[in-house]
Amino acid sequence: MLRRLRAIVLLAGLSGWPAAATAETGYDLWLRYPAVGDRALLASYRKAVTAIVPPAPSATADVAVEELKRGLLDLLAVPVPVVPDVEADGRLVLGTPRSSRVVAGLGWSAELDRLGDEGYRIRSTRVGERRATVIASKGDVGVLYGAFHLLRLVQTGQPIEALDVAERPRLSLRLLNHWDNLDGSIERGYAGESLWRWSELPGRVDPRITDYARANASIGINGSVLNNVNASAEILTAPYLEKVAAIARVLRPYGIRVFLSANFAAPRIIGGLATADPLDPAVARWWKAKADETYRVIPDFGGWLVKANSEGQPGPQDYKRTHADGANVLADALAPHGGIVMYRAFVYDASVDPDRVKRAWLEFVPLDGRFRDNVMVQVKNGPLDFQPREPFHPMFGAMPKTPLVAELQVTQEYLGHSNHLVYLGPMWKEFLDADTFAKGPGSTVARVVDGTVDRWPRTGIAGVANTGRDGNWCGHDFAQANWYAFGRLAWNPALAAERVAEEWIRMTWTSAPEVVASIRSMMMGSRESFVRYTMPLGLHHLIGGDHYAVMPENPDPRRADWSAIYYHRADRSAIGFDRTAAGSNAVGQYRSPLREQWGDAKTCPRELLLWFHRLPWELRMTSGRTLWEELVGEYRRGADEARELEARWKTLEGQVDQERYRAVLAKLRRQTEDAASWRDKCIGYFHGVNGRPVPEP
């Protein structure tokens, strides 16, 4: 209804009528499809696309046609009819060589085969004597992705008269991991309750799930893990599999397969067995029967994600077995159906090594080559836990025989929840572009993960989702940008974070150049500002139990590596964690030349200095200031930049819609206050520890 009202208002504006204001809730995300305001551009679009020539009907092809009809109606402010053939100029032809006579006649089959089922070709060409634009793929889902690509070009004001586009995803699995619980709550969720509404399924599927599918398909996400990695075994029971099947039916036309997090102890918890020992034949039979049952209900089920022997979760080590033993029993059950196991490497048993950041490498790297072919090990971007800045995880490039899934966190657990504007594109690019030196220079994390370095047959990337039932999906209108950026970078890790930000701004807010430039600048600097006021110079984990409140004094009694003092180790003489060869030697898990560069305080990057080094407060920095003075300056600068975000947003009043303007302003006011609290608390605490005078501003 909201979209129809907006279309009426936009048509009125184009006709010279006074346009009334319409409410913006943020629900439409980057699929708002506002009418093109530039009249010359609008005329060119209307000339280029006069009608749609559809392929043979299928669930996915029908979705592509409907999305184009919906989007082009709003963008061009005129209906775009569906016609059977190319009988005039300006036809938009969709299809595969099997589903479209026109596409089959173009002779593109070999090229489309190379692009694969998800890749697509968009080309301005001639069909007989007529000018046409063709969106073609080997598979229907590729056609759908191509349709969204064309809409994105129009949304962002790009010319479409002479297109020659060939796209294919760099990674085969592009997943959202939902940490949703069966009671409707979401672990690390900051945007309301779960989208899934388990109590209503399977009888009623919330229509919002269709819009969730649309949003994901528009950015190429092709998989969704529906439940929390701290999994309830109940999700694998027959009643819940029927509920999952109902969700899968909605997602399937959009090219999205469902996956589930499995509790490793499920054979014991819901299966009635006395053990979950992965080498017990009865346990193997139970998992095989459960996989068979699951595929009977959900034929295209993707597989299981497993968190084992981590933070109290059961796992193979409970039975003195290895992670490979645990993963392989599940993989054997799924293999006949083509399913995969994504086995998380987020483990940190203190008995393995005192330094938490070393433990995953120590537990998994010796197992390289011992996992089944359908096992992928899922590794967080950094070795600790989604901190605002970490070095890349040393497992990337260290397991050439085991496909690794990179796990990023879209929800801002350690980055201000949904209260702070922090665009994560630059952080993810920093990670993806980092050189592992696995096979010499140029072995970036992106090239490891996409299989270029080690030629893995299966590749993937996962993002811990930030969606919920809030009206704007993500709790903060700018948090939507991180969902969007994750999908775009999952499709192509080579994209620039700034380009992705500009796309999102134009699709979500406005195409007015001065407003785009202002918002883009705010977004691109936001992550670095957050780092300055929360973890300057490589300090990390200075938080309380909710991972939000600033608590550098936190001594968490449950375990040392959940505290803050474990990481900053500040006393009167020095601060920082010594991870050099003289300390924990975590730096030794990286290849040369990184271990030498990072292991020397003189050559270690400034932003990782206190991650790898414990240094005296009076150390003279390259700026000429002492380490203490540098820290104080960073905290102050970060807080000032947060305040500046609020001030810059205020200059946009009247240039974006009032509803979202006010919602964002309220968030930025809180961010200003929080950043000041971080500054004051940290400077005050460390001053109390080191006894040194606080430098004057």
What one-character-per-residue DSSP string does 466-487 give? Answer: ---SSTTSSSSGGGHHHHHHHH
144: which residues sit within 8 A by CB, 6+ positions away?
60, 61, 63, 64, 67, 217, 254, 255
DSSP summary character for residue 53 = E
**pLDDT tens for residues 212-231?**
999 999 999 999 999 999 99
Backbone angles phi, psi at 195, to 5 degrees: -70, -20
Q: Order of strands across the sheet with 91-95?
A: 51-53, 91-95, 130-136, 120-127, 164-167
Provide the CB-side half-sphere exposure for 60 (13 A, CA). 25
| Average pLDDT, integer, range 508-512 | 97
User: 522 pLDDT band (50/70/90 cuts)?
Assistant: very high
Contact 486, 408 (CB under 8 A): yes
275: left (phi over 0), alpha (psi -120 to 50) or beta: beta
For residue 648, pLDDT beyond 50: yes
Q: CA torsion angle for 304, 310, 313, 314 (degrees, to 10)?
A: 80
| Average pLDDT, integer, range 141-150 | 98
Percent helix, strand and coil across the chain, each to the nearest 5: 45, 10, 45
Place of tokens 């430098």: 695
**Catalytic residue, candidates 325, 385, 503, 641:** 385
- At 430, is the secondary structure helix, strand, or coil? helix
Element (H, E) at 303: strand 303-306
671: which residues sit within 8 A by CB, 6+ positions away?
416, 419, 420, 421, 642, 645, 646
User: 11 pLDDT band (50/70/90 cuts)?
Assistant: very low
Number of other CB atoms surrounding residue 395 within 10 Å: 23
Strands 223-225, 173-177: pairing kind: parallel
Rg, C-alpha atoms of the chain:
26
Contact 118, 141 (CB under 8 A): yes
| Average pLDDT, integer, range 182-195 | 98
Cβ-defined contacts of 276-280 (< 8 Å, 24+):
276/314, 276/318, 276/319, 277/316, 277/319, 277/321, 278/316, 278/319, 278/321, 278/325, 278/326, 278/328, 278/329, 279/319, 279/321, 279/325, 279/329
- At 98, is the secondary structure helix, strand, or coil? coil
Report the sign of the C-alpha dihedral through residues 275, 278, 283, 287, in that order.
positive
Measured CA to CA, the distance from residue 157 to residue 92 in angstroms comes to 18
Within 96-222, strands assigned E span: 120-127, 130-136, 164-167, 173-177
For residue 14, pLDDT beyond 80: no
Contact 456, 173 (CB under 8 A): no
| Closest listed residue to residue 535, CA positions, set 396, 679, 397, 391 | 679
For residue 552, pLDDT beyond 60: yes
Q: Please give the pLDDT value at position 549.
A: 94
Within 221-287, strands assigned E span: 223-225, 257-261
Contact 51, 91 (CB under 8 A): yes
Residues making up the chain, counted from first to last:
697
For residue 594, pLDDT beyond 90: yes
For residue 17, pLDDT beyond 60: no
Measured CA to CA, the distance from residue 449 to residue 463 in angstroms comes to 14
**pLDDT tens for residues 110-138?**
999 999 999 999 999 999 999 999 999 99
- Could you give the percent of the chain with pLDDT greater than 70? 97
Tell me what the pLDDT averaged over the chain comes to: 96
Residue type, 110: A
For residue 1, pLDDT beyond 50: no
Strands 130-136, 120-127: pairing kind: antiparallel
User: 150 pLDDT band (50/70/90 cuts)?
Assistant: very high
Measured CA to CA, the distance from residue 531 to residue 523 in angstroms comes to 14
Per the annotation, the verdict on 187 as an active-site residue is no
Residue type, 74: D
Per the annotation, the verdict on 385 as an active-site residue is yes
Measured CA to CA, the distance from residue 359 to residue 366 in angstroms comes to 12
Domains of the chain in start order, with CATH, are 34-167 (3.30.379.10), 173-496 (3.20.20.80), 531-577+614-690 (3.90.1330.10)
Backbone angles phi, psi at 412, to 5 degrees: -95, 65
Strands 257-261, 340-344: pairing kind: unpaired
Single pTM value for the model: 0.97
Measured CA to CA, the distance from residue 561 to residue 352 in angstroms comes to 13
**Catalytic residue, candidates 292, 311, 571, 596:** 311
| Average pLDDT, integer, range 153-169 | 98
**pLDDT tens for residues 41-74?**
999 999 999 999 999 999 999 999 999 999 999 9
DSSP summary character for residue 370 = -
**Catalytic residue, candidates 140, 167, 332, 413:** 413
Measured CA to CA, the distance from residue 102 to residue 40 in angstroms comes to 30
632 alpha-carbon distance from chain centroid: 32
For residue 636, pLDDT beyond 50: yes
Contact 290, 240 (CB under 8 A): no
| Closest listed residue to residue 647, CA positions, set 479, 529, 510 | 529
CA distances from 133 to 92, 164, 206, 259 (A): 5, 10, 35, 36
CA distances from 598 to 260, 532, 590, 634 (A): 39, 20, 9, 21
| Average pLDDT, integer, range 411-425 | 98
Q: Please give the pLDDT value at position 120.
A: 98
| Closest listed residue to residue 410, CA positions, set 400, 399, 401, 418 | 418
DSSP summary character for residue 180 = B
Q: Please give the pLDDT value at position 21.
A: 42
Measured CA to CA, the distance from residue 443 to residue 396 in angstroms comes to 10
Q: Please give the pLDDT value at position 3.
A: 44
- Asked if residue 552 has a cis previous peptide bond (ω within 30° of 0), the answer is no
| Closest listed residue to residue 362, CA positions, set 584, 594, 567 | 584
| Average pLDDT, integer, range 643-663 | 98
User: 545 pLDDT band (50/70/90 cuts)?
Assistant: confident
Element (H, E) at 598: helix 594-599
**pLDDT tens for residues 389-402?**
999 999 999 999 99
**pLDDT tens for residues 293-334?**
999 999 999 999 999 999 999 999 999 999 999 999 999 999
Backbone angles phi, psi at 543, to 5 degrees: -130, 170
578: which residues sit within 8 A by CB, 6+ positions away?
584, 612, 613, 614
Q: Please give the pLDDT value at position 4.
A: 38
**pLDDT tens for residues 562-589?**
999 999 999 999 999 999 999 999 999 9
- At 406, is the secondary structure helix, strand, or coil? strand
Query: And the tokens for 611?
Result: 């991650």
**pLDDT tens for residues 275-293?**
999 999 999 999 999 999 9
Q: Please give the pLDDT value at position 22.
A: 59
Measured CA to CA, the distance from residue 245 to residue 236 in angstroms comes to 12
Element (H, E) at 94: strand 91-95
For residue 5, pLDDT beyond 50: no
Measured CA to CA, the distance from residue 536 to residue 646 in angstroms comes to 21
